[in-house]
Amino acid sequence: MSRYNPKEAEPKWQARWNAAGSFNADAAAKDAQKYYVLEMFPYPSGRIHIGHVRNYAMGDVIARYKKACGFSVLHPMGWDAFGMPAENAAMQTGSHPRDWTYANIDTMRGQLKQMGLAIDWSREFATSDPEYYHHQQRMFLEFWKKGFAYRKESSVNWDPVDNTVLANEQVIDGKGWRSGAPVERRKLSQWFFNITGEAEDLLAALDDGRLKGWPDNVRLMQRNWIGKSKGLAMKFCFASGTSAPKEFEDGVEIFTTRPDTLYGASFLAIAPDHPLALHYAETDPALKDFIAECQKTGTSEEAIEKADKKGYKLPPEMAHPFDDRKLPLYVANFVLMQYGTGAIFGCPSGDQRDLDFARKYGLSVPPVVLPPEADPASFTIEDEAYTGPGTLFNSGFLDGLPTDEAITAAIAKVEEMGMGQGQTQYRLRDWGVSRQRYWGCPIPAIHCDKCGIVPVPEKDLPVRLPDVAPEEFTVPGNPLDRAEDWKNVDCPTCGGKARRETDTFDTFVDSSWYFARFAAPHPDKPVEKDAADYWMPVNQYIGGVEHAILHLLYARYFSRMMKACGYLSVDEPFENLFTQGMVVHETYLDPDDTKPLKDRWLLPDEVVLKDNVLVQETTGKPVIVGPIEKMSKSKKNVVSPEDIAEKYGADAARWFMLSDSPPERDVEWTDSGVEGAWKLINRIWDAVASGNNLLKENDLSKPSEANDEDKTLRQATHGAIDGVTGDIDHFRFNKAIARIYEFLNALKKAPKASNWARAEALSALTRLIAPFTPHLAEECWETLGGDGLACEAPWPKADPAFLAKDELVIGVQVNGKRRAEITVGANDDKETVENAALSDEGVQRHIDGKTIRKVVVVPGRIVNIVAN
RNA sequence: GAAACGAUAGCCAAGCGGUAAGGCGCUCGACUUAAACUCGAUAUACGGUGGUUCGAAUCCACCUCGUUUUUCCA
């Protein structure tokens, strides 16, 4: 028998698809229903890794399957090409970010094409193309005009040695990654998008059916992220006898979600950057030091949450609104200026952070919420706050009310007293889009001393990145700040001297609308409305769960802004979302521990199995097998798709990536796995090779059954069609593949089937494997004598007549333990099944001498007899 | 610290309230001069503790471990 030769077959079919324009979306029938499938576009990091193969193979299965089902399919590809790694590479290797990025794109495009993906390459673009970012700048000017974009101050990580802004990932243990200097928080004036203005609709769409095609866990994560809470905003007045600063004599406004616990208040706390704290710091050096100390905590949520609770007591005391207690006022490091009003009241019995704080500073801990069934006389709080619901006590007019009623009553009382009002609050903050970096889309704004900040006139767009020397990137800071020729311009309003904005956009902006741009390849406007209306929304979006919150939320918001400006007609860009798992691999470590750890990781290629022990190929020494981890360059546990394709072909790599694990879970790359895929490809090829020209010689539209084996084979064929179709529809690729294995076994067990039944089976098999192993399918299709290309062939249809079973075997339990099996008809009623079970010998033995209490009959499943 | 997800044999997994599938590997056997391929056979498993139920891998609670995200990586 001839072996299948992917090295010849794969390039051959890729060239034919290309020549036929098989995946060109323009050529698709416009009267057909459209289907837009999109995988999250890649960052051009250098080379395609096997995780990309898995991601794009999934989208490719969907694209090819939908095409076979008669849809007009759009499946494009582009590059998320701006970002920090290009600048890091420039620092290390001296290559310009632009050269590095576009060279990477060229490499990766070639690698992707080698995988045989059904992609419309005519629509390809990179976000770093001026043609793309030109339109991003145009839209920004409109958003600015409409008030979606505005400027305000916010904190960044500042490296005081390198004098540069650091990303969170560049801060390691609170220190700058290059300088090692402790990082400080610094305030900068930056651009923001008003995403909180859409918070209500972004939240509503999660539940009103607009996102019913999204996984529940992603919707839940977004809901938590938006974090809507209803509460009370109220003023605490300064206590009588306390001197308050003049501009603050109104009091301190706090926000709380638990106004029911107001009687449990034992202190007030404000954020370190609260105006009142800053006011006192002007005359109090110790407070100034304390605030500076707080600024040393990083800007990440985790850093703030994990930091020790610390406070600094301010001179004034605050008056409790309901009784005559006086409460101390602190500046506290765990209160955030961005959330609520930047001030809280502390109720130690009802909040763990407040309790930790109260214990540290010796403040009282009055319990006010009594848990269900607790004794009010003995209930006290020790080291754990009680945050659950209960009944109010020690709480004046709230005594005896359950938590929810007490919240309403407390808000009503405060409103009646004129001291505050009920308020809705979000955890979501506005989206800061300014980045102090070179390799991003320039923000089209000009700073003029006279006119303030003015937009770049549309006729002057795009604002292109200036060409700076590669050496510029070895110096800390933003090269745009030093590009004097580029930076210094005349003010478009008054003509006087002015400066360009030197910040660029967050790369999340670039990835918030690329899917709409794909609808029409290269119009001289952000999107072609007719094309966008035809293709949007994306019917199936596929990507990693790591994008569940930020990218997906930003893209949803951006679509709303674009709709408001008339670019799009949809507000939700992604109808269905699938989040796939990662590809992981064992790690290998050189046992020589005199070398630094980072130099001891070994590539899988350097490790061989010898006498059942994994050894380093060059030295023969055993290696330490480390944990199975996400593939990463630093741990070297990577495999190159090119090598795999070279050895086994792209089809084997695609097949293995989809066969082993459910797509939403992580999959471990193993050599035996891809070898298994290679074996399977050859088994299919063997099965088909004997069917030379069967399709030319048999008319499949005229069913024919010559012998008994035909019926069995036809049941297997139609069962496989039905199963694989359902599995692809539900993203169960691993199960679809398991069914193809079963089908292949069934085919082998029917050597006497007639040519007609074999033709039907092989034709179905070829079309079922086509989305997974498209090159092999073409080769099979050609051998069988099928019409045209396999990728243009229609999807097979299952005949329901072959799917029903007439009898089945079910288990019989006695007291929950399985004791026998009986064969029953598929349509037998409960009584018949019950009688059959009770009369079974094995069952009789176990119920002998006992009284039958109950018989549970689950049709088609099981019978359980309860007896004692 | 918080949120989300996960844990079934040596490994990967199906099952998602009703008989613990399948694949890889191991071992043995058949085929072969031998090996590879192929075919056949055997063994081993529901992370822990409680609860709900006639019946729990499946539902609930708590715990342990792992992964991802945490507003400037993409």
Residue-level pLDDT at A599: 62
* A157 CB contact with strand B at below 7 Å: yes
Please state the rounded mean pLDDT for residues A842-852.
79
Distance between CA atoms of residues A744 and A803, nearest Å: 18
Distance, angstroms, CA A441 to C1' B40? 65
Q: Are A153 and A190 in contact (CB under 8 A)?
A: yes
Give the three-state DSSP class for A635.
coil
Distance, angstroms, CA A106 to C1' B47? 47
Convert the pLDDT of each residue in A143-164 to its tens digit. Answer: 999 999 999 988 888 888 888 8
**Residue-wise burial string across A7-37, b where 16 or more C-beta atoms lie within 10 A, e elsewhere:** eebbeebbeebeeeebbebeebeeeeebbbb
Question: Strand B and chain A: which residues 648-677 have CB closer than 7 Å?
Answer: 660-662, 665-668, 670, 672-673, 676
Q: Which range is least confidently modeled, A134-148, A177-191, A490-504, A689-703?
A: A689-703
Nearest to A561 by CA among A139, A225, A226: A139
Looking at every residue in chain A, the average pLDDT score rounds to 86
Nearest to A105 by CA among A129, A130, A136: A129
More confident residue, A306 or A437: A437
Instruction: Write a three-state SS string for A445-484.
Output: EEEECCCEEEECCHHHCCCCCCCCCHHHHHCCCCHHHHCH
Distance, angstroms, CA A307 to C1' B64? 25
Please state the rounded mean pLDDT for residues A272-292.
91
Distance, angstroms, CA A115 to C1' B5? 30
Give the three-state DSSP class for A427.
coil
* A384 CB contact with strand B at below 7 Å: no
Q: How confident is the model at residue A824 (pLDDT cuts 50, 70, 90)?
A: confident
Distance between CA atoms of residues A621 and A634, nearest Å: 22
Sign (positive/negative) of CA torsion A355, A359, A361, A365?
A: positive
Distance, angstroms, CA A71 to C1' B30? 50
Phi, psi of A800 (to 5 degrees): -60, -20
Instruction: Write a three-state SS string for A711-742.
Output: HHHHHHHHHHHHHHHHHHHCCCHHHHHHHHHH
Distance between CA atoms of residues A63 and A777, nearest Å: 15
Q: Which range is least confidently modeled, A41-45, A572-576, A733-737?
A: A733-737
Question: Strand B and chain A: which residues 305-324 have CB closer than 7 Å?
Answer: 305-306
Nucleotide nearest to A217 (CA to C1'): B4
* A741 CB contact with strand B at below 7 Å: yes
* A364 pLDDT above the threshold of 60: yes
Nearest-CA residue to the C1' of B37?
A679
Please state the rounded mean pLDDT for residues A397-405.
90
Question: Strand B and chain A: which residues 225-254 have CB closer than 7 Å?
Answer: 225, 227
Convert the pLDDT of each residue in A11-21 to its tens digit. Answer: 999 999 999 99
Nucleotide nearest to A305 (CA to C1'): B1
Distance between CA atoms of residues A600 and A337, nearest Å: 45
Distance, angstroms, CA A731 to C1' B45? 27
Distance between CA atoms of residues A587 and A630, nearest Å: 9
Distance, angstroms, CA A604 to C1' B41? 34
* A627 CB contact with strand B at below 7 Å: yes
Nearest to A777 by CA among A256, A9, A102: A9
* A80 CB contact with strand B at below 7 Å: yes
* For the ranges A186-190, A340-344, A446-450, A833-837, the one whose mean pLDDT is highest: A446-450
Q: How confident is the model at residue A572 (pLDDT cuts 50, 70, 90)?
A: very high
Distance, angstroms, CA A612 to C1' B28? 19
Q: Are A542 and A55 in contact (CB under 8 A)?
A: yes
Phi-psi region at A250: left, alpha or beta (left = phi > 0; alpha = psi -120 to 50) = alpha
Q: Which two tokens stand for residue A578?
A: 């699938």
Which residue is associated with the tokens 């199963």?
A723
* A4 CB contact with strand B at below 7 Å: no
Distance between CA atoms of residues A387 and A156, nearest Å: 33
Distance, angstroms, CA A193 to C1' B71? 12
Compute the C-alpha angle A212/A217/A222, nearest 5°.
85
Nearest-CA residue to the C1' of B22?
A738
* A379 pLDDT above the threshold of 50: yes
Nucleotide nearest to A749 (CA to C1'): B39
* A223 CB contact with strand B at below 7 Å: no
Distance, angstroms, CA A868 to C1' B42? 38
Give the three-state DSSP class for A311.
strand
* Amino acid present at A762: L
* A738 pLDDT above the threshold of 90: no
Nearest-CA residue to the C1' of B12?
A660
Q: Which range is least confidently modeled, A131-135, A239-243, A820-824?
A: A820-824
The pTM (predicted TM-score) of the whole model is: 0.89
* A739 CB contact with strand B at below 7 Å: no
Distance, angstroms, CA A30 to C1' B74? 35
Residue-level pLDDT at A280: 92
Residue-level pLDDT at A588: 65
Nucleotide nearest to A339 (CA to C1'): B71
Q: Which two tokens stand for residue A248?
A: 């603050």
Question: Strand B and chain A: which residues 745-764 have CB closer than 7 Å?
Answer: 748
Residue-level pLDDT at A632: 60
Nucleotide nearest to A426 (CA to C1'): B71
Distance between CA atoms of residues A859 and A829, nearest Å: 8
Phi, psi of A615 (to 5 degrees): -125, 160
Contacts of A381 (CB under 8 A, 6+ apart): A348, A349, A355, A365, A367
Nearest-CA residue to the C1' of B25?
A672
Phi, psi of A106 (to 5 degrees): -60, -45
Nearest to A8 by CA among A685, A768, A788: A685
* Amino acid present at A119: I
Distance, angstroms, CA A629 to C1' B62? 29
Q: Which range is least confidently modeled, A590-604, A653-667, A705-719, A852-866?
A: A590-604
Convert the pLDDT of each residue in A442-499 to its tens digit. Answer: 999 999 999 999 999 999 989 999 999 988 998 888 999 999 999 999 999 999 999 9
Distance between CA atoms of residues A819 and A416, nearest Å: 71
Residue-level pLDDT at A629: 60
Distance, angstroms, CA A218 to C1' B51? 30
Distance between CA atoms of residues A580 and A218, nearest Å: 12
Q: Which two tokens stand for residue A347?
A: 């109720």
* A749 pLDDT above the threshold of 80: no
Q: Which range is least confidently modeled, A242-246, A648-652, A805-809?
A: A805-809
Q: Which range is least confidently modeled, A249-263, A373-387, A790-804?
A: A373-387
Sign (positive/negative) of CA torsion A24, A27, A30, A33?
A: negative
Please state the rounded mean pLDDT for residues A41-54.
86
Nearest to A360 by CA among A317, A318, A328: A328
Nucleotide nearest to A680 (CA to C1'): B23
Which residue is associated with the tokens 């090159």?
A775
Distance, angstroms, CA A81 to C1' B72? 17
* A547 pLDDT above the threshold of 50: yes
Compute the C-alpha angle A632/A634/A639, nearest 5°.
45
Peptide bond into A573 cis (omega under 30): no
* A629 CB contact with strand B at below 7 Å: yes
Nearest to A548 by CA among A513, A584, A581, A514: A581
Q: Secondary structure of chain A: what % helix, strand, coil (to 5)?
A: 40, 20, 40
Strand B positions within 7 A of protein Cβ atoms: 1-6, 11-15, 18-25, 37-39, 54-56, 67-74
Q: How confident is the model at residue A513 (pLDDT cuts 50, 70, 90)?
A: very high
* Amino acid present at A672: S
Convert the pLDDT of each residue in A617-632 to its tens digit. Answer: 677 676 666 656 666 6
Compute the C-alpha angle A707/A713/A714, nearest 5°.
95
Nucleotide nearest to A353 (CA to C1'): B1
* A705 CB contact with strand B at below 7 Å: no
Question: Strand B and chain A: which residues 585-614 have CB closer than 7 Å?
Answer: none
Q: Which range is least confidently modeled, A157-161, A614-618, A680-684?
A: A614-618
Residue-level pLDDT at A611: 53
* For the ranges A550-564, A588-602, A823-837, the one whose mean pLDDT is highest: A550-564
Nearest-CA residue to the C1' of B5?
A217
* A730 CB contact with strand B at below 7 Å: no
Q: Which two tokens stand for residue A10?
A: 């794969």
Distance between CA atoms of residues A76 and A80, nearest Å: 13
Strand partners, A453: A447
Distance between CA atoms of residues A157 and A187, nearest Å: 9
Q: Which range is least confidently modeled, A68-77, A392-401, A822-831?
A: A822-831
Q: What proportion of chain A, given as a percentage, has pLDDT over 90?
A: 46
Q: Are A696 and A756 in contact (CB under 8 A)?
A: no
Distance, angstroms, CA A772 to C1' B12? 19
Residue-level pLDDT at A1: 43
Distance between CA atoms of residues A509 and A406, nearest Å: 44
